[in-house]
Amino acid sequence: MKVFAKLSGEGVEKNTYLDWKYFDFKLSEENRLRGSDNWEMWKTAFWVALMAIGYRDGDSAKLSRIDEAKLAAAVVANVKEGPVAVATGLTRGTEMIKASERLYGTKGIDQKMDLWTQLQFVKLEKKTALDHVIGFKNLVRRCNEVDMPVDARQQVTIS
């Protein structure tokens, strides 16, 4: 699928691979990429938004310069200050995502130890019981994402 988009202020048509007029990916401040703690959720939401405008896994070679620039702008607009530093010096959106994946997508022992420590010291400090349960379930989900499953019996003991 090839789509032609006019750049504002120019009469020349430029090729774009993706249909950007349907791209709607603007996360609220609290859902923007913070780091490894919300990387998997952020990445999933980002890829779903890209798939909605025609991107398929492995299509990065087909992206035009305009696609890459718009992708980069979308990444920068949806990350917090720390992750923006990861993209410093990068101009292509695919490079930014790969750099973030390398940094935040690791499933190393340090990340596992950090998550396990967080699980061991979970306390009811949130405003409501529902907030506590949501936070706890998110922590369990993150443990499962890094191949450190927490079974139901452990969850009852911990919570």
Mean pLDDT by 10 residues, the chain (159 residues): 47 73 91 88 91 88 93 94 89 92 76 80 78 83 80 70
What pLDDT score does 48 carry? 92
What pLDDT score does 12 carry? 42
How many CB atoms are located within 10 Å of the residue 74 CB? 20
**What are the residue ranges spanned by the domains of the chain?**
3-104, 109-158
Which tokens in the block code for residue 1?
A: 């699928």
Give the span between the Cα atoms of 100 and 122, in whole angstroms: 28
Which tokens in the block code for residue 28?
A: 């609220």
CA terminus-to-terminus distance, the chain? 50
Global pTM reads 0.61
